[in-house]
Amino acid sequence: MSEVEKRALAAEVRAEEGEEGQPARIVGHGAVFNKRSEMIMGMFKEEIAPGAFDDVLGDDVRALFNHDANFVLGRTRAKTLELSVDAEGLRYEITPPDTQSVRDLVLAPLSRGDITGSSFAFRVAPDGDEWREEDDGLIVRTITRFSRLLDVSPVTYPAYPDAGAAARSLEARCAEVQNLARKAINERRARERFLEMIHA
């Protein structure tokens, strides 16, 4: 089974006041398509292809605050979290519980603009990513298919994690991919030189 990974981004997340008598909602994008991340662990950049979430929109997903399993804001099974895909990416709408802690710690900072980031936790399908090395040596990972969507979260710090089991597994995978990419590039260059020699 693949490791759980988390990605955070500075995509817009906001609190929306409900109509009179209706609860407030939290609306945001947990992930965006075709946009490169910052460097992850100083090793590679990442992008998400449209369609990557197609297999996981029916998962039982939680909405958490800062990925804290003790701070549940909503859940798809309870119909307090709605997920959809639009042209921008993975969109979420949360109807959080009407509690003082949610009002004070989540809705008020969102309304003030103190919290603006979103994040999501996921597993990538075994054949759900592609790695390549660009001409400038940059390694790019494109995620084409997720196998599991675990949570979406408004987050205080929209930064990529750099520690833990997922990071260690990604380091190993990235090193492996870098070696494979360099080997493939070297083999291609050798073939090109050979063809140039025989056609000279």
Domain extents in the chain:
5-199
Q: Is 117 helix (H, G, I), strand (E, B) or coil?
A: strand
What are 61-72's pLDDT values in tens digits? 999 999 999 999
What are 92-115's pLDDT values in tens digits? 999 999 999 999 999 999 988 888
Q: What is the pLDDT of residue 91?
A: 92
- Residue burial 34-54, b: 16+ Cβ < 10 Å; e: rest: eeebeebeebbebebeeebbe
Instruction: Compute CA 14 distance to the chain's CA centroid, rounded to the nearest angstrom.
Output: 18
What span, in angstroms and rounded, lies between the C-alpha atoms of 76 and 74? 7
What are 137-183's pLDDT values in tens digits? 899 999 999 999 999 999 887 644 332 223 334 455 556 656 666 77
Q: Which two tokens stand for residue 91?
A: 């969109």
